Amino acid sequence: MRNILASTLLLAAALCANPAFALDSSGTPVVVTPLASKTTTASGQPIILPQKNVQVLVSTYDIAPGATLPVHRHPFPRYAYVQAGTLKVTNVETGNSNTYKTGDFIIEMIGQWHQATNIGDGPVKLLVIDQVEEGAKNTELRQ
């Protein structure tokens, strides 16, 4: 029994390495490549999940070249994977900016006013995941 437990722990540790290799049910290799492991947002805040019933929302965004999103903030955690393009996100409260490009993973700031601009030649394509209190929205526009 101890050997089985030890083997299982070693396999789990191996799967957490970069990249991880596994087999599907037919014995075909599956490669798992970790993209991010973070405990803070883009502005250094700890990631804290909603305390009530959590709803996960998944959407895609297509942002045209030169487009700038309105100043907004998120009351709950939002994550984005940049599928294509280059996006500059500016915290309008601090003036600090981060630039994200294809393949980057974004953990957006929570409760801080910011805006994003497509600074590339092509569209920005994002896969966005929100964790909100059930029924809540995760974007507030500044009036």
Tell me how far apart the alpha carbons of residues 22 and 29 are, in angstroms, rounded to a whole number.
Answer: 6
What residues does 45 pair with on adjacent strands? Answer: none
Residues of the chain below pLDDT 70: 1-24
pLDDT in the model for residue 14: 42
CA–CA distance, 72 with 3 (Å, rounded to integer) = 54
Residue-level pLDDT at 69: 96
pLDDT of 29: 83
pLDDT at 105: 96
Q: Exposed/middle/buried for 115, CB within 10 Å: 0-12, 13-18, 19+?
A: middle
Per-residue pLDDT, 30: 83
Residue 85 has a pLDDT of 98
